[in-house]
C-alpha cells in the first residue's frame, strides 16, 4: 500500500473511532453501510 492509502485508512479509522465512542462499532458500521446503500 502507498503512503496516501495508509493516511486515508488512518483518517477513516480515527473518524470511525470518534463517531463510535458510545455505540457498538458493529452498529455504527451497519448504519454506515445502510446509508451508503441508500445513497446509491
Q: Cα separation of 16 and 29, whole Å?
A: 8
Cell digits of residue 36: 451508503
Q: Which residues form the domain of 9?
A: 3-39
30 is written with which cell numbers?
A: 451497519
pLDDT digits (tens, 9 = 90+) for 1-40: 566 678 898 998 888 788 767 778 788 889 989 999 999 9
What pTM was estimated for this model as a whole?
Answer: 0.51
Q: What is the pLDDT of residue 18?
A: 83
Predicted pLDDT at 37:
96
pLDDT for residue 1? 58
> In the 8-state DSSP scheme, what is residue 22?
S
Domains in the chain: how many in total?
A: 1
Amino acid at each position: 500500500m502507498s503512503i496516501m492509502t495508509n493516511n486515508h485508512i488512518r483518517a477513516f479509522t480515527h473518524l470511525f473511532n470518534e463517531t463510535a465512542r458510545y455505540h457498538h462499532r458493529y452498529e455504527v458500521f451497519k448504519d454506515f453501510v445502510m446509508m451508503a446503500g441508500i445513497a446509491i
